[in-house]
Chain A
Amino acid sequence: MTPAVATGERRRGSRILGSAAALAVVLFVVSIFIGASSASLADVIRDEGAARTIFVESRLPRSIAIVLAGASIAVAGAIMQALTQNRFVAPSTAGTTEAAILGVALVTVVSPASAVGYKMVVATVFALGGTLLFVWLIQRVRSRDIIVVPLIGIMLGAVMQSIAWFIALRFSFLQSLYAWLIGDFSGTIAGRYELLYVVGAAGVIAYVFADRFTLAGVGRDFSVNVGLNYDRTIVGGMVLVSIVAGITVVVVGTIPFWGLIVPNLASLLVGDNQRRLLPIVAAVGAAGLLAGDILARTIRYPAEVPVGTIIGVLGGLTFLYLLIRSRS
């Protein structure tokens, strides 16, 4: 690659990052001022009625939670794709999400009264177990095949989901499991979302180590040759992914395809260099989920549709379109 091309690409990358970030900021502001009860900026400043309480206790936490979740789920997907060198591997196609769900189902039965923090730890540990099992499996298969790898993840996820369903059916909480699975921010208020900051921190750590993930993705021999501790990098990356998946599944629920769509969209725009890609993935992830949540809150105003459903349908259609376009 000639320096001129590299500079041109970098400039293009910064432009895209700039517009995505600006879009995220605009949507964040819009998101804060949308809701069933009115809380205009003037009311908040004058502390009229309940406006300030609504603002501080509900609006702001919700928008912050969306940014943290949207950005970090997308970044988690990008890390998995870098580590496995497969565009179609994401927490939802590697057994990670289903493992977290299984963890939550088990906690619900064993100690239903346990604190949210405890549930999150269990979900994260399960997510990590599921992900490492997946990594172990695909390393044994030694296939880099674009279909075989995610298909193994999907099957692994199916096995874990069947155990979770077994438990949920046995103890009659299948409907609540379904309800809780759809990503939804309507319950996000101050005091109920703060653990998502941990998820945000995981995203930042991922950015710091982005180059190593790219190297490790090339393969064990190559990474060892250039002086990288391969196993530690893989496990480290998967720990980050599992923290994100475990915590977001408990606090927010699942956002279908998010870890799959956003990184693929971003790499269509700027290519595969992780260090350049990750900030854009984070910005697009945050902006996209903010937009989805705004739509979820206005489509049947003042009632809400879970954002997970909105993303499941619109995101799915977008992804199908991208898929068909990129192959024709």
Chain B
Amino acid sequence: MAATSGTPTGSPAPGSDPVLIDVEQPPGPASERSPNTVLLAVGLAYLVAVAVFMTYDIQGSLSFALELRAKKLLAMTLVGTGLATAAVLFHTMTGNRILTPVLIGLDSLYILIQSVSVAFFGALTFVSFDERIRFAVAVAIMVAFVLVLDAIFLRRAVTDLPLLVLGGIVLGGMFTSLAALVIRLIDPNEFLILEDLLFASFTLVNEELLVISGVVIAVGLALVARVRRTLDVIALGRPTAISLGADYDRVNRRLIVLIAVLVAVPTALVGPVTFLGLLASNATYELTRSFRHHVTVPISSLAAATLLIAAQFVLEELLDFATRPSIIVGFVGGIVFIVLVLREVR
């Protein structure tokens, strides 16, 4: 309904803008790698990362170390899978590969939720709440936010990218400035606890939540697998998809819910890891030159997990826990993104 009124007569449809980087870009003639080769290579990289991460420099109790590291690995794999899949789906929905669900302000919203909770309940009280409840509330608020946003203007924004991007930047800015006010009011000792919640950390993850998140993300992946062919058609853009018989608007409306869940669950589990999905999915497009979901979803999920493991490893072994993995990912991810755009747009 709203989607049909989204393209104003007179101005060209956003999808036809030649400078936008479309997912459906024709494969470059130079690099014709088979997707299977790439999948094998990325899978191998993941296994190597897992092996090194599990076995490197174990001191003390072997079983304790292995259990701890396995939990971290599972968390990183889940987070990587969720965020990378959400990014790929978002690209499919918007027909643009440089966007990320983070742009609609979800990370900032998470930071706001955590800051307000700590300010309202007090850090110690808040941290002593049942972790499952904190997790469920954060996920619910984030998903509800996306649904409200969708109802207000996202549906039109999908066909109107500038609106989507700017709306997201502005919403993110609003959440950040509210969070900054709350953070200013918090007692410095309490802030130290909040600080732990604001940056993704894999060191202490609740086992039960890990299982719950695993189930949710697995269900999401199963859904994606079931409709992967429809998604391939959706990625061709609205006019083509409709002429090929896909119910473009209905699928997109469901897709946004799935994307919201796939971003909200990892974020509520460990904290925001901005740019991870964007980075992994774009690396995948570069390597495979494919936009078919049975190729891009598994490869970018594995790539994201591998990146996280590598960042965590560098952090633990080389930087001696000097910072947070999300800061490393943000730094590297931003640079890689800029390089990608520089190469693509020219």
Contact = CB atoms under 8 A, between A and B. Distances in A.
Interface in B321-340: 322-324, 327, 330-331, 334-335, 337-338
Q: From A142, A154, A155, name the one whose CB has the most chain B CB atoms within 10 angstroms.
A: A155
A309 B167 CA distance: 18
A92 B172 CA distance: 12
Interface stretch (B174-182, B211-219, B306-314): B174-182
A323 B19 contact: no
A193 interface: no
A198 interface: no
A125 interface: no
B119 to A, nearest CB: 12
A311 B178 CA distance: 10
B171 interface: yes
A170 interface: yes
A175 interface: yes
A256 B191 CA distance: 23
B184 interface: yes
Given A147-B161, A174-B195, A312-B173, A141 B183 contact: no
Given A141-B345, A145-B17, A169-B195, A156 B180 contact: no
B153 interface: yes
A316 B274 CA distance: 22
Contact of B153 (A150, A257, A324): A324
Contacts of A312: 173-174, 176-178, 180
A57 B173 CA distance: 33
A155 B322 contact: no
Interface string B173-202: 110111011011010100100010001000
Nearest to A165: B327
A144 B338 CA distance: 16
Given A141-B341, A154-B169, A158-B275, A148 B327 contact: no
A301 interface: no
A178 B181 CA distance: 8
B184 A159 contact: no
A271 B162 CA distance: 20
Contacts of B160: 327
A147 B168 CA distance: 12
B261 interface: no
B180 A308 contact: yes
B162 A162 contact: no
B173 A256 contact: yes
A181 B177 CA distance: 9
Interface in B84-134: 96, 98
Contacts of B257: none
B254 interface: no
A309 B156 CA distance: 28
Q: From B20, B153, B161, B341, name the one whose CB has the most chain A CB atoms within 10 angstroms.
A: B341
Q: From B160, B166, B169, B183, name the one whose CB has the most chain A CB atoms within 10 angstroms.
A: B166
B170 interface: yes
A308 B181 CA distance: 9
Contacts of B153: 324
Q: From A148, A181, A328, name the one whose CB has the most chain B CB atoms within 10 angstroms.
A: A148
B8 interface: yes
A179 B19 contact: no
A165 B325 CA distance: 12
B274 A158 contact: yes
B334 A158 contact: yes
Contacts of B74: none
A148 B19 contact: yes
A137 B170 contact: no
B165 interface: yes
A146 B96 CA distance: 13
A9 B87 CA distance: 46
A24 to B, nearest CB: 24
A251 to B, nearest CB: 17
Q: From A137, A306, A313, A316, name the one whose CB has the most chain B CB atoms within 10 angstroms.
A: A316
A320 interface: yes
Contact of A327 (B21, B163, B170, B330): B163
Contact of A143 (B19, B171, B199): B19
Nearest to A176: B188
A309 B171 contact: no
Interface in B272-303: 274-275
Contact of B334 (A148, A159, A170, A313): A159
A305 B161 contact: no
B346 interface: yes
A221 to B, nearest CB: 18
Contacts of A306: 180-181, 184
B177 A313 contact: yes
Interface string A203-239: 0000000000000000000000000000000000000
Interface of B: 5, 8, 17, 19-21, 96, 98, 153, 156, 160-163, 165-167, 169-171, 173-174, 176-178, 180-181, 183-184, 186, 188, 191, 195, 199, 274-275, 322-324, 327, 330-331, 334-335, 337-338, 341-342, 345-346
8 contacts: A148-B341, A150-B165, A158-B275, A169-B323, A174-B195, A175-B183, A320-B167, A327-B162
